[in-house]
Amino acid sequence: MIELNNELFCKLGDLSVDGYFIYEHDQQKFSYLNKSLAAIWETTPDDIYTNPQVLLERIHPEDTAHVFSCYEECLENEKEKRYEFRLTFKGREKYVRTTVFAVADAGRARMIGTVEDTTVVRHNKIHIEQINARKNITLEVLAHDLKEPLGMMKLTASSMEDSIAQMGDERMVNSLSFIKDMCERNLLLVRSMINREFLKSSVIEIGKERADLVWELRDVVRFYKRSKLGKTKNIQFTSSAEQIYLRLDSMKFLQVINNLISNSLKFTTDNGYIGLHAEELEKTVLITVTDDGIGIPDELQAGLFDHLPETLRPGLKGEESGGFGMSIIKSIVDLHQGKIWFKSKIGVGTTFYIELPK
């Protein structure tokens, strides 16, 4: 185990804005903690020395089991551990991140570490993730909503073009040709924006943090249901528990979910069913995206995750495929140490399964 220099550690703690502590496991008490740690818990060092239980009383009820599990894990080996959990106060909560070491000092089992208040950073990150997820959904909704009117405009201009050409009005013919080109360019512009945003996920490393998967998925479905697409499809979300916590990169994983839902929208008829479900298992979480669409032909299934040109096909209303989506989905799931697979039957529908470790 690591040998502890008490004097140096305590001097650092006295100067730091982060919390520093030394906890005597055998005696179940603190031998050192700085004022910054007490300030994070909004109490005094004397109160904590006298009654360490006051720290547990501030832990968010939903995170209590997680904290006890982390404590037990710390005792298993000598490696550095990092954890995140919440503190609760009247009408508000704090996010904290702690780094803990197991230390042998004069034959005593000790736990030393630091605690950082990450509330502002965490709230900003959550806000950015929400904006990013809704931006991606808005782009998908925009692409679907623009496809039909722009397609109709292009078709109308094409039908008028022949009649105008016979009249010899070259100026009008050029104008109609311009309208057709603009319709096509705008459709390609929206689709390229969606593909470009999703492609970013394949070149940026993931940063996993503890997150409530149920809350994240419910928010995605809620946004879809409020859009125009929610009125043309039956989009539902279910889960086996009210909260399911696991470590993931929320921003990138929600892009995976958004892309799978987008594919279901393309290949499901109006009033069709699209379901998102989260199931908590003993050591993993299983997420499924199900639809009752047209299904994936047998000859396309083998290379679906391999970015093969022959697996690309337009949606029911002519929506184009960027060609990268499924391969990037698999890459992001792999980066989460997860697995993805699917089952599909022509005329019945498709279900994608994603299994992630807790």
For residue range 249-285, what is the model confidence (pLDDT) as tens digits? 888 888 889 889 988 988 898 889 999 999 999 999 9
* Residue 62 per-residue DSSP state: G
Nearest-angstrom CA–CA distance, 31 and 194: 55
* Residue 310 per-residue DSSP state: G
Q: Write down which residue in 87, 117, 147 finishes a domain.
A: 117
pLDDT at position 341 is: 95
One domain for residues 202 and 168: yes
One domain for residues 159 and 176: yes
One domain for residues 193 and 234: yes
pLDDT at position 311 is: 46
Beta bridge partners of 17: none
One domain for residues 171 and 275: yes
Tokens 């005696």 correspond to 27
pLDDT at position 310 is: 47
Helix (H) or strand (E) run with residue 234 in it:
strand 234-239
pLDDT at position 353 is: 97
Question: Residue 198 has which token pair?
Answer: 């999703």
Q: Give me the phi and psi of 106, to 5 degrees please.
A: 55, 40
Domain contains 1: no
Q: Which of 125, 330, 133 is nearest to 209 (CA)?
A: 125
Residues of the chain with pLDDT under 70: 1-5, 105-107, 132-133, 136-137, 139-148, 151, 187, 189-205, 307-325
Tokens 């405009």 correspond to 153
pLDDT at position 258 is: 86
Q: Write down which residue in 117, 138, 163 finishes a domain.
A: 117
Nearest-angstrom CA–CA distance, 21 and 35: 10
One domain for residues 167 and 18: no
pLDDT at position 309 is: 46
One domain for residues 38 and 127: no
**CATH number, domain at 329?**
3.30.565.10
Q: Which of 232, 151, 230 is nearest to 191 (CA)?
A: 151
One domain for residues 149 and 255: yes
One domain for residues 61 and 105: yes
Q: Is 81 within 8 Å of 70 (Cβ atoms)?
A: yes
Beta bridge partners of 81: 100
**Tally of domains in the chain:** 2
Q: Write down which residue in 65, 92, 117 finishes a domain.
A: 117
Nearest-angstrom CA–CA distance, 257 and 290: 11
One domain for residues 224 and 322: yes
pLDDT at position 192 is: 64
One domain for residues 92 and 176: no
Range(s) of the domain holding residue 32: 6-117
Question: Residue 46 has which token pair?
Answer: 């004397």
Domain contains 110: yes
Domain contains 323: yes
